[in-house]
Amino acid sequence: MKQFKCAACGQGQVVMLAKPGRRAAFKNIPDLEIPESLELPTCECCGEEWLDDAAAKQLDVALADVYRRELSRKANQALRQLKMAKLRQWDLEPLLGLSSGYLSKVKAGKDVSPTLVVALMLLAGAPNRVEELRRTLRCSSVDAPFDNAMADLGRAHVELPKTEASSFGYMAEFAQYDERRPVVRLRLVGPNQTEMPSSAYCMPTEVAA
């Protein structure tokens, strides 16, 4: 790049400069950090950046890479928060329309879509909305007593035997409860979204209202 005088301050020379602490908007992230090793045409005096086509293209490539890693980091952070709220990946995959094991790949560093990251972040911020999602995704209306039971009892945590958990996504629903203890009905959802008969497969090992 040929040096030229900065038109912003009228004093400094614009040279290729790399420095830390620069940020730029990229897609839905407003302040992505520009790699500190990336040289951009910058005024030595006032710091104004003067991007020509070549520099803009380089910046775009660099930010796309940072963006991918940032999405992965945010997805993993949300999954950790959801796990702390007792929402495991096999709870979430069927609700988000993901195939079984998809979130394991995300945890292992698979590229993740911004839309999925946003969904995970919103759910991690309000884990009780997972239950709401489970209900509102249904096409048929749920009868009122069932709804009330859900509202009163909050969330149940149910552990499936490991072999079953790896083969099926599942949904747990309150069917009925007495004063002391909710009774949980399991709806197992197979890979092709067909419902599996629950009683043959498992019994809840832990129920916490």
Binding site for Zn ion (CB under 5 A): 6, 8-9, 12, 43, 45-46, 48
Whole-number minimum distance, CB 3 to Zn ion, in Å?
12
Neighbours of 68 (CB within 10 A): 13
* Cα gap 62→55, rounded to integer Å: 10
Whole-number minimum distance, CB 35 to Zn ion, in Å?
22
**Which one, 40 or 172, has the nearer CB to Zn ion?**
40
Whole-number minimum distance, CB 108 to Zn ion, in Å?
45
Q: Which amino acid is at 94?
A: P
Whole-number minimum distance, CB 19 to Zn ion, in Å?
14
| 205 to 2, 122, 163: CA distances (angstroms) | 71, 29, 14
Asked whether the beta carbons of 173 and 158 are under 8 A apart, the reply is no
Whole-number minimum distance, CB 48 to Zn ion, in Å?
5
Measured N-to-C along each axis, helices 53-84 and 114-125 cross at an angle, to the nearest 10 degrees, of 40
**Which one, 45 or 118, has the nearer CB to Zn ion?**
45
**Which one, 5 or 73, has the nearer CB to Zn ion?**
5
**Which one, 48 or 70, has the nearer CB to Zn ion?**
48
**Which one, 14 or 106, has the nearer CB to Zn ion?**
14
